[in-house]
């Protein structure tokens, strides 16, 4: 009887272990209960990134859709969409003048949903350039660049520049006649920059003409360098929005 009682006690303890682990995991994710009091609500906001990333208070007039048109949020959504579709395209793309154009044709005619992914990536890129530009115009019109938000305005200008560079570097990757001559014209313009124009052009091309080295450099910049820099700048941008407030005054 004693052995049976010990066995049942051990079984009960063993059954409680998964429950305790589940409860502990739940508490590690949801560290506070429902925000029924101001103290719990404050602790929840301080320990939750998504809640902490939002400003503590905003004006009622700034909640109107016509005030911001959600251009910043749309731009961020398009960046996420470009990242996801770009990852799918990377499975079928080789950054080489020998295979790049054929890879684009395979995506268009041979790969299942390849044309969908490519068109989503292409049109999202065009839309992101437009929405980021309109977002900058909206910020300027509403005076949101004024102190204490001038630093965040500078970050926004950098993000606009990165968006244009992402569009420019991605333009070459299909390796068709349109992209070849567009990049040729663009890099020739860089050659006439003061002091180090020819060196800047050579560093962009990796050679004296647009070729295999250029495709590789543009590919690395397009899928790694610029997206990483843009993601870091976006985090700083969102953090400053949290610190400086939602927007300026009309």
Please give the CATH superfamily to which domain 64-244 belongs: Cytochrome Bc1 Complex; Chain C (1.20.810.10)
Tokens of 86: 């770009």
pLDDT single digits (tens) 230-247 = 999 999 998 888 778 766
Band (pLDDT 50/70/90 cuts) for residue 8 is low
Radius of gyration of the chain (CA): 26
101/120 Cα distance (integer angstroms): 18
Buried b vs exposed e over 135-165: b needs ≥16 C-beta within 10 Å?
A: bbebbeebebbeeebeebbebbeebbebbeb
With tokens 């799918």, the residue in question is 88
pLDDT tens string 132-185: 999 999 999 888 888 888 999 999 999 999 999 999 999 999 999 999 999 999
pLDDT value, residue 250: 44
Average pLDDT, integer, range 76-90? 97
Q: What pLDDT, in 10s, does the model give residues 119-132?
A: 999 999 999 999 99
Whether 146 and 247 have beta carbons less than 8 Å apart is answered as no
Q: What is the pLDDT of residues 17-46, one digit of tens each?
A: 777 787 777 777 777 777 778 887 777 777
Question: Per-domain residue ranges for the chain?
Answer: 1-30, 64-244
Can you give the pLDDT at residue 135?
95
CA proximity to 248, closest of 141, 132, 131: 141
pLDDT score of 11 more than 70: no
pLDDT above 60: residue 7: no
Q: Is the pLDDT of residue 103 over 80?
A: yes
Instruction: Give the chain's mean pLDDT.
Output: 87
Please compute the mean of the pLDDT values over residues 212-234 and round it to a whole number.
Answer: 96
Residue 172: name the closest of 120, 116, 129, 222 by CA: 222
Residue-wise pLDDT tens digits, 185-198: 999 999 898 889 99
Contact residues for 202 (Cβ-Cβ < 8 A; gap 6+): 208
Residue 213 or residue 52, greater confidence? 213
pLDDT for 3:
56
d(CA 148, CA 42): 25
pLDDT-derived band of residue 220, with 50, 70 and 90 as boundaries?
Answer: very high
pLDDT at 56 over 70: no
DSSP per-residue string spanning the chain: -HHHHHHHHHHHHHHHHHHHHHHHHHHHHS-S----SHHHHHHHHHH-HHHHTS-S---GGGGSHHHHTTHHHHHHHHHHHHHHHHHHHHTS---STTTHHHHHHHHHHTSTTHHHHHHHHHHHHHHHHHHHHHHHHHHHHTTTTSTTSHHHHHHHHHHHHHHHHHHHHHHHTT--HHHHHHHHHHHHHHHTSTTTHHHHHHHHHSSSSSSHHHHHHHHHIIIIIHHHHHHHHHHHHHHHHHHH-S----
Yes or no: say if 184 and 210 are a contact pair by the CB < 8 Å rule.
yes
Does residue 10 surpass a pLDDT of 70?
no
């Amino acid at each position: 009887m004693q052995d049976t009682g010990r066995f049942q006690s051990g079984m009960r303890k063993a059954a409680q272990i998964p429950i305790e682990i589940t409860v502990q995991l739940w508490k590690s994710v949801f560290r506070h209960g429902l925000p029924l009091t101001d103290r719990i609500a404050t602790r929840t906001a301080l320990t939750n990134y998504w809640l902490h990333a939002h400003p503590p208070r905003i004006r009622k007039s700034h909640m109107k859709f016509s005030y911001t048109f959600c251009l910043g949020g749309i731009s961020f959504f398009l960046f996420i969409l470009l990242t996801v579709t770009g990852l799918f395209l990377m499975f079928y793309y080789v950054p080489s003048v020998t295979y790049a154009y054929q890879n684009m044709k395979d995506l268009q005619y041979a790969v299942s949903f390849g044309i969908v992914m490519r068109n989503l990536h292409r049109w999202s890129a065009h839309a992101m350039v437009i929405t980021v530009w309109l977002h900058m115009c909206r910020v300027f019109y509403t005076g949101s660049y004024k102190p204490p938000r001038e630093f965040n305005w500078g970050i926004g200008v950098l993000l606009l520049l990165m968006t244009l560079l992402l569009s420019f570097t991605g333009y070459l990757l299909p390796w068709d006649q349109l992209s070849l001559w567009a990049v040729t014209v663009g890099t020739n313009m860089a050659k006439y920059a003061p002091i180090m124009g020819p060196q800047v052009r050579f560093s962009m091309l990796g050679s004296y003409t647009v070729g295999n080295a250029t495709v590789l450099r543009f590919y690395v910049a397009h899928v790694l360098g610029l997206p990483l820099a843009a993601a870091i700048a976006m985090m700083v941008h969102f953090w400053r929005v949290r610190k400086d407030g939602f927007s300026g005054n009309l």
